[in-house]
Each structure stands twice: as C-alpha cells, then as structure tokens.
Amino acid sequence: MPVPPAPRTILRRCSMYYLEIDRFADMRSPVHAWDPRIKIPALLIMAFTIALLKDIRLAAMGLAFSIGLVAISRIPISFVLRRLRWVFIFLAPFVLIMPLTVPGKDIWQFSFLSVSYEGLSLVTVIFLKAVAIVLLVFPMFGTAPFHTSMKALQHLRFPTRFVQIILFTYRHIFIFFGEICRMNNAAKARGFEAKTRWHSFRTLGNFIGVLLVRSFERTERLYNAMISRGYRGELITLSTFRMTPRDSVKGAMVMAISVLLLVGDRFL
Amino acid sequence: MSSAITIHNLTYCYPDGTEAIKDISLEISEGESVALMGPNGAGKTTLFLYLNGLLPKSSAFGKGGRGDSGSVGIVKIFGSAVDGKKPLREIRRRVGIVFQNPEDQLFCPTVFDDVAFGPLNYGLPPDAVRSRVRDALEAVGMLGFEDRVPHHLSFGEKKRVSLATILSMNPAIILLDEPTSNLDPRARRKVIQVIGDLKVTKVIATHDLEMTLELCERGIILDNGRVITDGRILDILKDKSLLEAHGLEVPYSLR
C-alpha cells in the first residue's frame, strides 16, 4: 500500500525543522549503515579523546577527523553550519578574552592591550577541540532515526529512566512547540505584538503559565494512557539491530585513531 | 449473555470536592454497543477513567469530608470488582480506553512501538507482539505506517493509530472517548467503519449522535453525573424535549 507523504504542516508553519537532529537519517552512507550500538560508544570515546588533547597539531587532526566523518556521512554542510552557529556564539567570549588575559610572550601590542602567544595557542586548541567534538554529534546522532539511537543506548545498558526522559522530552518538544505556535498565532490574530512594554511582558508571562499548566495536565493524561496499557516503569522494545563484521571494523578503526591521537599527544 | 460491566450505586468525588458521578447504576452485557451521551462535563470521561481504575481513591466518604476524593458503590468488570484490591493490571488488560486526544495516547517514537507498547508490557513474546501489531494496524487500515513517527501523522491517522494501540491488547471491552471529534468527514467515516467492525463490547462517549445511530443499539444520557435515560437509541434520539433538556439535539436524519 503506498503511504502518502507525512503532513508536517505544524512543523512547517512554525519553522521547527531545525529541531530535528535526525532530519537526514534516511540517507545512505557508511556512517548511516553503521550499527549504532558500536557507532555511539566509538564516537563518544573519540569525543573524550579529542577533549584530552593538548597539542595544537593533534587538535587540528581531531578536527580533520570530525570533518572527514561528517563528509562521509553526507549530512548537508548548510545544516551543519546552521547548528554550529551556536557553538561559535558560545566560544566567542573565550576567543576574544583569553589571548588578552593569559600571561606569556607578547606578540602584538596596542596601547594597554597585549596578545600573548600562549593565550592565542591555548584558545586555538580550545576552539579546534570544541568544534571537532560538536561536529561528532552529527555522525553520532544525525545518521539514524533518533529513536533508534535511543534504543541502542538502552541496549548498551544506559539507565532506562535516563533513556525514557530523553525519549519523552524529544517526543514532546514538538507538541510543546506546536502549542507555543498556536498560542502565538492566537495572540497575533488579536493584535498582539511583542514589544518592550508592560502589556507584552504580562502576556508572555501568561503564555508561560498556561504552557506549564497545560503540560502538567498533559503529563497526567499521558501517564493514564501509559498505565492503562500496563506500563510499570520499564520501557520494553523490540529491537531489530543486526551487527556485521563491517560494523566492528569501523569501530576498531575509530578506536585505533583515537589511540594514535592520544599516544601522539603524549610524545609530541 | 453475561454481564461485562456492572455498576451499582457508584458515586465518585474528585479531590476538589466536585461530585462527578452521582449514584449511577448500569449493567452492560457482553457484546453490546452502548452510546454514552451528554453535555460537556456530564461525567462521561470520569466514568471511563473509573472503569479502568485510573482515578485516585484516597479515602471513602464520611472520613475527611470535603477535600477528599473517593468513591462509594460497586463496579465489576466481568464479575471482578474494581476496588484496588484485585490487580488493576488484569482489569486494564481487559478494558481498553481510547482517549479523546490522540496526542496523549501516542507517546512512542514510532507507530510500531506505540502499538506494541501494551502487548510488550504484558510480556508477550516478540513474534506474538509482531502479529498483534500487524492485526491491529490492519483493522484500522494503517498497515505500512509502522516506522512512521506519530507526530508526523494527520489527526485522523493519529486517531486510528490510537485505536490500534488498544486493539493490540485484545481487550474484551473498549471505551471510546469522542472517537469522531475534530475529524473531517472522510476520516470520520473511516473511524466509524473501523469501530463498527469491532466484535467486542463497546461504550462510546460522544456528541456525534448521527454516529450513535449507526453504531449503537442502546443509548445512555448522562448529565451532571447522573444517568438520565437508558434505553433504545432510536427512542432516545427521537425525544426532542429530552435531548434539548440535556444539551443535545435531535439528529438531522430523524427530523
């Protein structure tokens, strides 16, 4: 039976597409084909490895690895860059302040400001490592449907409560945003404009209050729906994971690279 | 015919002191299809929640007075009482509620997971779960949607998947809360067809009186927590003054 395309009207109307980390999970690539039960821990270890690096050259290699992996995964660069924006905003204060404040050999001076070599190299390492680690998230969680990744976590014996919290949060972000969007439309339809004035703040306060009350009531109804179907605190799922030697080889390759990076960092 | 639901002098009071159900007595036999009608706030949903053992029973009346939720009366499902002593899980397996808002009912990542949720919780082996899911989705005409994400479905599709999540548990009684509300005519027609094909005891809470003509032989009007009438649906729906007194209208096809 042909299945019609999914109606995503609410998502589209509220431009909520960018919330979906797994938007490109349906593509084909060696990273997509990788069993998440190996992919997630392997890339997590890689992320920790990169976090431990101190040498600027090795941090650059870590970044190169991440960029390479994102390229292999074929996730569109525009999608990646739009999300990286937030990382850059977060890093901006460090980049601006650290070269000026870390003591060391001055390489540039302008009246009372001086940029130190140590500060500059330290901030470069931090920047390279941060971008490299954030980039790893895309192959890690962007190459499989989100729920598949969560099932993989459950298989890896992550605490079930933790997995359930993430799953339900993810599921409800969309309901939540749909609600915000509808309320926002309802307010706009009655002439509401968000301006810096008392009335706007009061309206926004009401928004948040109503949203909280609604979500509280929703959790109650949701919980009823769950226990009426026999829920007892466990999330039981049927899995369809299949592991092949190829999955292990990919895992071994990533591990080898991370060991090399660590060894290199120690001796360089 | 044996009795599926027996309610004897049931009164239920919410924690805020509202008496949502007042001295209701009902008997619903196995295989019956009953329409539960009444204005908003008549107590229909409360009754459903009660039948599934979903309402808090902190204390009985007379102990703490106002501010205590509680119930008096007897409710039996296939002869076993819903009183908190017997395992409620067994009752919940046999009584399925399809809630009014499918967003509350669908909480899993995929349609398959949602329909499999009940059977898995009751410890069915994987193969049995898969065939239950298949049968349930087939019954509601949603085969092929297994891997879809619930929040990307249309409202009508969500309603049908909600029904499938209950069908997969093979309940003997299905309580449907406003199954046709907010649906366009085609989606409504589809849902009515699906419900009509179900061979279980059904109680349908609704304002869609045209639908009750198609699906039910018996009707009950509930208003302000009390049973007002209980009888043949056709007799009730022709009674203009009775319907209007309780916030309802004679269906167009009977005028």
Residue A198's pLDDT band (cuts 50, 70, 90): confident
Q: B202 with B225: CB under 8 angstroms?
A: no
User: Are A139 and A155 in a shared domain?
Assistant: no
Check B152 against A147: CB less than 8 A apart. Answer: no
- pLDDT exceeding 70 applies to what percent of chain A? 93
Which residues in chain A are closer than 8 Å to B146, comparing Cβ atoms? none
What is residue A8's predicted lDDT score, i.e. its pLDDT?
47
Number of domains chain A contains: 2
Same domain, A139 and A247: yes
d(CA B90, CA B88): 5
CB atoms within 10 A of CB B62: 9
- Whole-angstrom distance, CA of residue B242 vs CA of residue B209: 14
Q: Given an 8 Å threshold on Cβ–Cβ distance, is B97 in contact with A228?
A: yes
Q: Which residue of B has its CA nearest to A17?
A: B152
Cα of B209 vs its chain's centroid, Å: 16
Please report the residues numbered 4 through 23 in chain B whose beta carbons come closer than 8 angstroms to any beta carbon of chain A.
Answer: none
* B203 vs A267: which has the higher pLDDT: B203
| Closest by Cα among A146, A223, A209, A214 to A176 | A214
Q: Do A222 and B122 touch (CB under 8 A)?
A: no
| Alpha carbon distance B41, B55 (integer Å) | 16
Average pLDDT over residues A171-176: 79
Q: Which of B178, B175, B253, B183 shows the shortest CA–CA distance to B214?
A: B253
pLDDT (mean) for B55-72: 55
pLDDT of A102 higher than 60? yes
Report the pLDDT averaged over residues B43-64: 72
Parent domain of A174: 1-22+146-238
User: How do B226-232 and B80-81 pair as beta strands?
Assistant: unpaired
Identity of the amino acid at A151: K
Band of residue B172 on the pLDDT scale cut at 50, 70, 90:
very high
CA atoms within 13 A on the CB side of A216: 6
**Residues A205 and A222 both lie in one domain:** yes
Question: Quick check: B241 pLDDT over 90?
Answer: yes
8 Å CB contact between A11 and A17 = yes
DSSP state string for chain A: -PPPPP--HHHHHTT-GGG-TTTTTTS-STTTTS-HHHHHHHHHHHHHHHHH---HHHHHHHHHHHHHHHHHHT--HHHHHHHHHHHHHHHHHHHHHHHHHS-S-EEEEETTEEEEHHHHHHHHHHHHHHHHHHHHHHHHHSSS-HHHHHHHHHHTT--HHHHHHHHHHHHHHHHHHHHHHHHHHHHHHTT----SSHHHHHHHHHHHHHHHHHHHHHHHHHHHHHHTTT--S-----------HHHHHHHHHHHHHHHHHHHHHHH-
A98, A203: one domain? no
Query: What's chain A's average pLDDT?
Result: 84
Q: How many residues does chain B have?
A: 255
Give residue ranges of A with CB < 8 Å to any B CB. Answer: 1-3, 6-8, 11, 145-147, 150, 167-168, 170-171, 174-175, 218, 221-222, 224-232, 234, 236-238
* Together in a domain, A227 and A153: yes
Please tell me whether residues A16 and A74 are part of one structural domain.
Answer: no
Closest residue in chain B to residue A3, using alpha carbons only: B144
Residue B68: its pLDDT value, please? Answer: 53
Q: State whether A254 and A138 are in the same domain.
A: yes
Helix (H) or strand (E) holding B198: none
State the complex-level ipTM.
0.78
**Does residue A70 sit in the same domain as residue A192?**
no
Which of B46, B88, B101, B105 has the highest number of chain A CBs within 10 A, making it the mutation to test binding with A?
A: B105
A105: pLDDT confidence band, cut at 50, 70 and 90? confident
Which three-class secondary structure state does DSSP give residue B75? strand
- Average of per-residue pLDDT across A107-115: 79
Residues A65 and A111 in one domain: yes
Say yes or no: A134 and A58 in one domain. yes
Q: What is the pLDDT of residues B8-41, one digit of tens each?
A: 999 988 888 888 899 999 999 999 999 999 988 8
Is pLDDT of A163 > 70? yes
Asked if the model's pLDDT at residue A10 lies above 50, the reply is no
Residue bearing tokens 């349930």: B136
Residues 99-128 of B with CB under 8 A from A: 99, 101, 103-105, 107-110, 113, 116-118, 120-122, 126
- Report CB contact under 8 Å: A6, B148: yes
Judge if A246 and A139 occupy the same domain. Answer: yes
pLDDT (average), residues B103-122: 88
The reply to whether A62 and A97 lie within a common domain is yes
How far is Cα B197 from Cα B206, in angstroms, rounded to an integer? 18
- Name the residue facing B152 among A2, A6, A227 (closest C-beta): A6
- B150: DSSP letter: G
Nearest of A26, A32, A19 to residue A177 by alpha carbon: A19
